[in-house]
Structure 1
Amino acid sequence: MNPQTTSLLALLFVSVGALASLIMLEVTGKTEDQSGKTQWIYTHRLLGYFFILILTVMLFSMISKVAGYQEELKARAVIHIVMSLMLIPLLGIKILLARRYPRHSAKLPFLGITIVLLSFSLTGITAGYYSLHKSNLTYTTLMAQDSEVLDLDLGKAIMNKKCSKCHSLERIYRSFKNDEGWTKTVNKMAFLDTPNIAVFDIKQVTNYLISQQKRRQENNSQRERDIGKTLVSQKCSICHTLDRVYGAKKNGLEWNSTVARMIRTMADPDFLSKEEQSLITDFLSKRRKKE
């Protein structure tokens, strides 16, 4: 979940808790008017279950984010986590007293108010943070004049710090996108994390990811060429010399037809797979272009 969604959920969380506590005080604090007490207790119980459900959803989201975070947590995040975890035993004790130990029911209002105050505090340092910090961040793209300040090592460092807050870095390195795709992705993530990321950061991260993508593509292309060359040496040399193969001047379609004819000549369905056939054809046709 993005910060805006979690902030709205946190505000709902506090509102439900405050309403449940108000009903509890209404039921336990008034002695002269007890009309509708059963309905108020039932409503309080439903709100309590809803409160626990929201807390469970937010805890799951928090644990998912922390699990993928690869940098040391900031003090604000640590305080938020500690306060969130404190709610679990407090809620457990409150439910236990209400269900199993009715003689201690006088302590329930105090526990309820403590839970609401704790919920309000932990929400204030997160939802309040994103509400108070406004950002004028706009869609950012790389320009020619940016080359003077762009640095790959800096871009990698910023990416490791910023992107790992919401997901693992493995998710990034497994993605394959063009220049426009990476630009859109980084801008989208930056808007979600505003105001924690600046235009300078966006450009550095975008430049690093685009450069990283190009390096991977070059490595993959070289790997495919090496495999194609090896297959030519292993398969084609069975029937004729490699000088004959490398001396032939053919385009991609012609090489594809030649390789297909050789496969039929061998009469072996396992002689070359479709992928191997494609690698040989690509290697031979691209080799001709270089020459």
Structure 2
Amino acid sequence: MGMEPRATSSGLQRQFVSLVLRELWQALDWKCEDRMALDVGCGSGDFSACDLLSRLPEDMVILATDSCPSAVSRAADKYDGTRLCFLELDIGAAHIEDTGVWRLAPFSKIFSFFSLHWVQNQRVAFQNINKLLSPGGEAVFIIISHSRLFTMYESMAKSPRWSTYMEEYLKYVTPYQELNNPEHQFTMYMKEVGLSVKTCRNQRDINYVSTDEQNIIDTVRSINPFMGRMPKELRESFIRDCVREAYRNGTLRCRRLPGGSSYCFRYDALVAHVVKPWLEG
């Protein structure tokens, strides 16, 4: 992408992913012989290493991937080990067969959390996931389907100060943003690429709440794809302006309480569990 859309892991991501995995984990089938899982869009690697790895059977390993080379490098320096390794991957690649990840396929499990909404061509991304899965393999997705965060991007892109760095902001808006029924579109993609849907819902009004405003600001920072385009000395000013606009349009909310304040980031997300059918015969 040329930018760093997910350089760090945020509380928003880890909080909701943990809830989803607790809900879906018992529905996953572990009989598939291939013992490698793929994490698509691992960012900093924090969740892969600290949350996902411990849930997997002890004989399974994770290949954690991200489209950002510097994120992959930092994650590998921090976490690379016998059961966890890292590679660069653009899941929207036109020729997935030419990637290093392809040479390690197939995978019995593919996870992607808060990453696939960066890929505008969803059909290609899901075709690639289908190709990478073992027969009988499963994938679990969390995809942002709507957020006023993307409206904030639009407002910031019109600012004379920041427009130079945000000319292609529409490339970083979730493809589901304007859909009334995003789960229907997702299900259609699955049907087209040959994956079977076990669970799919569009969960609305998910609230990431913290009593520490800095956690909310760090969330805005961690999922902001534009900072890599601007000089380092402008980045903090840019984030301050983003946060100010996010409060203005309702992306972020502050509630005054007797013992302090509560800060909220609200969004909608698709939650899905899909399966690649076993080969016939």
Question: Common fold, TM-score beyond 0.5?
Answer: no
**TM-score, normalization: structure 2?**
0.25
- Give the structure-1-normalised TM-score: 0.24
Greater CA radius of gyration, 1 or 2?
Answer: 1
Where relative contact order (Cα < 8 A, 6+ residues apart) is larger, the structure is 2
Larger strand fraction of residues: 2
